[in-house]
Amino acid sequence: MNTVRQQLASPLQLVALASAGIILLPLCYVTVQALSADPVVWSRLWATRIPELLSNTVSLAAGVAVITLFLGVSTAWLVARTEFPGRRLWEGALVLPLAMPTYVLAYIYSYLLGFGGPVEHLWQLAAGPQARIFSPHSYWGATLVMALDTFPFVYLLSRSALLSMNVSFEEVARASGVSRLSTLWRVTLPLMRPSIAAGMALVVLYVVSDFGAVSLLRYQTLTYAVFQQMTGRSDNTAASILSLLLVGLALIFLITERWFRQRSRFYQTSGRYRAPQRHRYGWFGTVAVITYLGLIVGAAFAIPAALLIQWSFSPEAQSTLDGRFFGFVWNSGILAASAATAGVLIGLPLAYLASRRPTILNLGCLQAAYAGYVLPGPVAALAVLVFFSKLAPIFYGSVFILLVAYVIHFLPAGLQSLEPALQQITPNLEEVARTLGLGIRDTWRRVTLPLVRNGFVVAWVLIFLQTMKELPATLLLRPVGFDTLAIRVWMEASEEYFQLAAPSALLIVLLSLPALALLVSRDWRAV
Amino acid sequence: MSFLCVRPRLRRSIFSGLSLLFAAGLIATFYLPSATGADKLTIYSGRSERLIKPVLDAFTASTGIQIELLSSGTTELVNRLKAEGDRTSADLLITNDAGSLELARTAGLLRPLNMREIERAIPAQFRAPDNAWVGLSGRFWIVVYNTTLVKPDQVKSLLDLADPKWKDKIAIPNSGSEYLQAGVSVIRATHGDEKTRQFLQGLKTNAGGQVYQKSSQIVDAVAKGQVPLGIVNHYYVYRHLAAQPGAPVAVLMPDQQEGGMGAIMNVAGVGIVKTSKHLDSARLLVEFLVAQAGQKLFADLDKEYPLHPDVKADPALVERKSFRAAQVPLTKLAELREPTLTLIEQVGLR
């Protein structure tokens, strides 16, 4: 009893509880709305839309997962285990696609692969004037775009697994007479499994919750359908039902991944770590490796970026670079900065309490904050919308609810860097400071804060970056006069004004690059 | 030593300077727009920004009244107005569909207007009985066809498009589109639910994956020959032809045969939001839009049919007197909407 009261009394605790509440309550509201819907609506949706949407969503996720598995692991293996000219450059270049939001890549590919587009012209030179290629507005188009955009997740995690793996396992296998290929198959890949699974889980969640690419490529998934229901119907019941299914689907993916990861945990003998030897191919092999990597980076980043630059300098695009355009830049910046600041401020007490006083209540609050993981943008928007229009309509149509949606949506990304930062400092350091006579506030300022500062910076940058690129929630919740760069890209691109969309898209990509560099460079973690 | 002491302090002051700047920017962004605004109108617009902004810019140029535009889906904006209630900052609602305006009117969101200018300029069938909304420009839901792939006599009625011979040959808008909803409502009112259901089922099969978000994309696809036929509002075709003269697309005015229902008409319109605090400016804008000069902008820039009887449509368009329009009153589109949506959902249009 006493402990409970103590817990509740702490102001930090109250902040954490309030944050968890503001994240969970909207979701509960949507769930209640979906479950209390008229069974007729449910059965109608089952009879008409749900089977198609479910199978589309799952098959898109599966297709993208298979392709990213192949692309991610093969590229990681090449840069980690072979040596070729410019290897370090390629190592970095393979991450670049992460700077391209899916809607940007999607709109570039609907031009490249579109009817009468450049790729079709090339193909017709080879296969005759009547030859057609697959339409980008199809399953294959959506799969290709999403795979090119997300394979760096698998690449990054596989690469770090390969680099930190103790090479002696493989050497033992080779010494026992196992062939090189068989070693790869029976030793290396199984050891990488947890990392690969984590990478693919990221990919699948990303695909399931993507709105930008599927809306521009007109591929019907659950996320897209939620958005369509919200914008095309006068009540949100059907949208809540589809949202509930979507959240359920994402949860299933997430739980499966956790389960796999728990079953396959490996322990390495750390003492005798040695960097693995890099294999050198002959000139033919080297050319093949570079061509392969060049094709991937070209398709996923270089060609799209070149097109964006070319379009941005076209006269049509130049004429849009007026005061209005800079207003959009300012809106994007100010919204992203506010969301990032709010996210860090809200995330801090949650992460701090969970690592310092891991009571069930505190851990629960932290888990609640991770709910945003399985809330795609339109669902986050719907949740916030329903919640605020019922309970606090005064905020409806203001910047506030947009920021709440951002924080709900992107807090997990921030927590992932706040949590380890707080965990790595032992309470001893603070206790030493206290016994040496520092007050509580000074201990925070002079011991705890400097230690967690880098985690803060990374969390802030991550939320900033994701908010700046965010599309569906912004579309649904933006107040008057708050069009952002992402909105402009989508508006122009959805009417196929490719040139007009280019300057905004290019700016988003350029702004994402330094943040990306910050995230992948290991120095930041070490400092 | 002193160098080491100064740097953190300097850094801290830079940091606090930056945060101050950020806070100032925040306040400026979030609060100033509502503070200024004596001569500023906020418009929720369900029409594509490209089609409405030039007209509004002309208004700003002639009156000096600034306009803040929120472009989004029509239904979404009506939902938003309902949810925002008295607190909305919107002064006017512009939509692409009379049914949505009528729904907004019956929900009590719009303000009845007693303006002689309106009554003089816009015929009564194109506005609400109490002038809470006023039609601004007429559009017809027509068949666009690729002139190299289809002969115009192959299609007489919209209902022909459900014929299996057009399998994979039709591009249609998605079911969230208000024109499609209005069009289906008119077909229901004319032919009844059962026939409409069969039509929609055939259309769904024939369209397959060719379901588009934007009408401009449909015209584009038809012009490129990607798909021979499409259903769109007429002006998208003429806008395409104005930008690319000689493109192989043409308008087929459907349902003109003996006893046919006539072409499906809808209007884009405007209403003043009930809680508007800038009533005078808002009335000025409505006056501007219904006057001959404003009507001519819709005709010239957007290739729509002006509703003012004295303003001529663009000469490239099919002469308005040469074809019949379906006889379903615009105000009826509102009550037809819900059952239409149910039917669309039952058929499972995307």
Q: What is the pLDDT along chain B (350 residues), one digit of tens a residue?
A: 343 444 556 656 666 666 666 666 666 555 544 444 457 899 999 998 888 999 999 999 999 999 999 999 899 899 889 888 888 889 999 999 999 999 999 999 999 999 999 999 999 999 999 999 999 999 999 999 999 999 999 999 999 999 999 999 999 998 888 889 999 999 999 999 999 999 999 999 999 888 888 888 899 999 999 999 999 999 999 999 999 999 999 999 999 998 889 999 999 999 999 999 999 999 999 999 999 999 999 999 999 999 999 999 999 999 999 999 998 999 999 999 989 988 998 888 87
| Residues in CB range of A30: below 8 A, 6 or more apart | A240, A243, A244, A379, A382, A383, A386, A387
The tokens of B217 are what? 């994309």
A193 vs A191: CA distance, rounded Å: 5
Answer yes or no: do A393 and B87 touch at CB < 8 A: yes
Q: How far from the centroid of its chain's Cα atoms is residue B194's Cα?
A: 28
Distance in Å, alpha carbon of A398 to nearest chain B alpha carbon:
9
Tell me if chain B has a CB within 8 Å of the CB of A393: yes
Distance in Å, alpha carbon of B84 to nearest chain A alpha carbon:
6
A323 vs A321: CA distance, rounded Å: 7
Q: How many other CB atoms sit within 10 Å of the CB of residue B174?
A: 16
Tell me if chain A has a CB within 8 Å of the CB of B214: yes
Tell me if chain B has a CB within 8 Å of the CB of A59: no
Distance in Å, alpha carbon of B125 to nearest chain A alpha carbon:
25
Q: What is the pLDDT of residue B121?
A: 94
A268 vs A265: CA distance, rounded Å: 10
Tell me if chain B has a CB within 8 Å of the CB of A491: yes
Which of A54, A140, A480, A490 is the best substitution to test chain B (most B C-beta atoms within 10 A)? A480
Tell me if chain A has a CB within 8 Å of the CB of B212: yes
Dihedrals phi, psi of B261, to nearest 5 degrees = -80, -15
List Cα–Cα distances, A343 to A27, A44, A415, in angstroms: 18, 39, 9
| CATH tag, B40-138+266-317 | 3.40.190.10
Q: What is the residue whose two structure tokens read 């008229």? A: A38
Q: How open is the CA angle B345-B349-B350, to the nearest 5 degrees?
A: 110
Coil, strand or helix at A360:
helix
Answer yes or no: do B68 and A476 touch at CB < 8 A: no
Determine the residue of chain B that is closest to A216 in CA distance. Answer: B213
Q: What is the pLDDT of residue A1?
A: 43
Tell me if chain A has a CB within 8 Å of the CB of B30: yes
Q: How many CA atoms lie within 13 A of B277 on its CB side?
A: 11
Tell me if chain A has a CB within 8 Å of the CB of B80: yes
Q: What is the pLDDT of residue B11?
A: 59
> Beta strand B305-306 with B133-146: parallel, antiparallel or unpaired?
antiparallel
A303 vs A108: CA distance, rounded Å: 9
Distance in Å, alpha carbon of B213 to nearest chain A alpha carbon:
8
> Beta strand B211-212 with B133-146: parallel, antiparallel or unpaired?
unpaired
User: Which DSSP state fits B113?
Assistant: -
Answer yes or no: do B209 and A218 touch at CB < 8 A: yes
Domain with CATH 3.40.190.10 in chain B: 40-138+266-317, 139-264+335-347
Tell me if chain A has a CB within 8 Å of the CB of B3: no
Answer yes or no: do B29 and A334 touch at CB < 8 A: yes
Tell me if chain B has a CB within 8 Å of the CB of A237: no
Complex prediction ipTM = 0.82
According to CATH, the topology of domain B139-264+335-347 is D-Maltodextrin-Binding Protein; domain 2 (3.40.190)
Which of A55, A219, A231 is the best substitution to test chain B (most B C-beta atoms within 10 A)? A231
Q: How open is the CA angle B22-B23-B25, to the nearest 5 degrees?
A: 65
List Cα–Cα distances, A482 to A117, A476, B182, in angstroms: 34, 11, 30
| Residues in CB range of A346: below 8 A, 6 or more apart | A15, A19, A369, A407, A411
DSSP string, A151-213: HHHHHHHHHHHHHHS-THHHHHHHHTT--HHHHIIIIIHHHHHHHHHHHHHHHHHHHHH--HH
Q: What is the pLDDT of residue B194?
A: 95
The tokens of A494 are what? 């959805």
Dihedrals phi, psi of A41, to nearest 5 degrees = -65, -45
The tokens of B102 are what? 């009528």
Determine the residue of chain A that is closest to B175 in CA distance. Answer: A232
User: Which DSSP state fits A430?
Assistant: H
B153 vs A128: CA distance, rounded Å: 32
Answer yes or no: do A232 and B177 touch at CB < 8 A: yes
Distance in Å, alpha carbon of B27 to nearest chain A alpha carbon:
10
Determine the residue of chain A that is closest to B85 in CA distance. Answer: A393
B219 vs B173: CA distance, rounded Å: 11
Determine the residue of chain A that is closest to B174 in CA distance. Answer: A228
The amino acid occupying position A1 is: M
Determine the residue of chain B that is closest to A44 in CA distance. Answer: B346
CA dihedral of B144, B150, B155, B158, whole degrees rounded to 10: -30
Nearest to B70 among A385, A480, A496 (CB): A480
Determine the residue of chain B that is closest to A43 in CA distance. Answer: B346
Q: What is the pLDDT along chain A (527 residues), one digit of tens a residue?
A: 445 445 555 788 888 888 888 888 888 888 888 998 888 888 888 887 899 899 999 999 999 999 999 999 999 999 988 999 999 899 989 999 989 999 999 999 999 998 888 898 889 888 887 778 888 888 999 999 999 999 998 998 898 888 877 778 888 888 888 888 888 888 888 888 888 888 888 899 889 999 999 999 988 899 999 998 888 887 788 899 999 999 888 888 888 877 776 766 666 555 556 667 788 888 999 999 999 999 999 999 999 999 999 999 999 899 888 888 999 999 999 999 999 999 998 888 888 888 878 888 888 888 888 888 778 889 989 888 888 887 877 787 788 989 999 999 898 888 887 887 777 777 788 888 889 888 888 888 888 778 778 788 888 888 898 899 999 999 999 988 889 999 999 988 888 888 999 999 999 999 888 878 877 764 333 33
Q: What is the pLDDT of residue B3?
A: 39
Answer yes or no: do B68 and A481 touch at CB < 8 A: yes
| Residues in CB range of B312: below 8 A, 6 or more apart | B299, B306
CA dihedral of A81, A86, A88, A94, whole degrees rounded to 10: -90
Determine the residue of chain A that is closest to B209 in CA distance. Answer: A138
Q: Give the closest residue to A347 by CA, choosing from A293, A406, A428.
A: A406
CA dihedral of B224, B228, B231, B236, whole degrees rounded to 10: 30
Distance in Å, alpha carbon of B149 to nearest chain A alpha carbon:
15
> How would you classify residue B208: left for phi > 0, otherwise alpha for psi between -120 and 50, otherwise beta?
left
Answer yes or no: do B213 and A215 touch at CB < 8 A: yes
Answer yes or no: do B346 and A230 touch at CB < 8 A: no
Determine the residue of chain B that is closest to A480 in CA distance. Answer: B70
State the count of interchain CB pairs (< 8 A) between A and B: 108
The tokens of A413 are what? 């990304």
Q: What is the pLDDT of residue B36?
A: 46
Instruction: Sort out which chain B residues have CB atoms less than 8 A from A116's CB and list them.
Output: 224, 226
The amino acid occupying position B32 is: L
Q: What is the pLDDT of residue A427?
A: 77
Q: What is the pLDDT of residue B28?
A: 59
Q: What is the pLDDT of residue A524?
A: 37
Answer yes or no: do A496 and B217 touch at CB < 8 A: yes
Answer yes or no: do B87 and A330 touch at CB < 8 A: no
Q: What is the pLDDT of residue A9?
A: 54
Determine the residue of chain B that is closest to A116 in CA distance. Answer: B224
Which of B27, B70, B92 is the best substitution to test chain A (most A C-beta atoms within 10 A)? B70
Q: What is the pLDDT of residue B202?
A: 95
Helix-strand-coil split of chain B, %, nearest 5: 50, 15, 30
| Residues in CB range of A408: below 8 A, 6 or more apart | A22, A23, A26, A371, A372, A375, A380, A383, A384
Distance in Å, alpha carbon of A333 to nearest chain B alpha carbon:
10
Q: What is the pLDDT of residue A142?
A: 95
Q: Give the closest residue to A459 by CA, choosing from A523, A526, A413.
A: A413
Instruction: Sort out which chain B residues have CB atoms less than 8 A from A228's CB and list them.
Output: 174-176, 350
Q: Give the closest residue to A466 by CA, choosing from A338, A336, A334, A377.
A: A336
Tell me if chain A has a CB within 8 Å of the CB of B91: no
Ordered by where they begin, the domains of chain A are 6-33+315-527 (1.10.3720.10), 58-219+277-312 (1.10.3720.10)
| Residues in CB range of B17: below 8 A, 6 or more apart | none
Instruction: Sort out which chain B residues have CB atoms less than 8 A from A489's CB and list them.
Output: none
Enumerate residues 34 to 53 of chain A having a beta carbon within 8 A of any beta carbon in chain B. Answer: 44-45, 47-49, 52
Answer yes or no: do A232 and B175 touch at CB < 8 A: yes
B323 vs B262: CA distance, rounded Å: 8
User: Greatest CA span in chain A, whole angstroms?
Assistant: 83
A406 vs A21: CA distance, rounded Å: 15
Tell me if chain B has a CB within 8 Å of the CB of A133: no
List Cα–Cα distances, A31 to A382, A385, A401, A410, A498, in angstroms: 11, 13, 19, 20, 39
Determine the residue of chain A that is closest to B342 in CA distance. Answer: A44
Tell me if chain B has a CB within 8 Å of the CB of A331: yes
Instruction: Sort out which chain B residues have CB atoms less than 8 A from A49's CB and list them.
Output: 345, 348
The amino acid occupying position B203 is: L
A366 vs A361: CA distance, rounded Å: 9
The amino acid occupying position B81 is: L
Enumerate residues 135 to 174 of chain B having a beta carbon within 8 A of any beta carbon in chain A. Answer: 174
| Residues in CB range of A3: below 8 A, 6 or more apart | none
| Residues in CB range of B8: below 8 A, 6 or more apart | none
Determine the residue of chain A that is closest to B180 in CA distance. Answer: A232
Q: Is B297 exposed, middle or buried (0-12, 13-18, 19+ CB in 10 A)?
A: buried
Nearest to A393 among B85, B212, B214 (CB): B85
The tokens of A193 are what? 């499994």
Enumerate residues 40 to 59 of chain B having a beta carbon within 8 A of any beta carbon in chain A. Answer: 42, 44, 48-50
Answer yes or no: do A396 and B49 touch at CB < 8 A: no
What is the pTM for the complete model shown? 0.86
| Residues in CB range of A212: below 8 A, 6 or more apart | A101, A102, A103, A104, A106, A471, A472, A490
Q: What is the pLDDT of residue A274?
A: 67
Nearest to B346 among A44, A215, A331 (CB): A44
Coil, strand or helix at B162:
helix
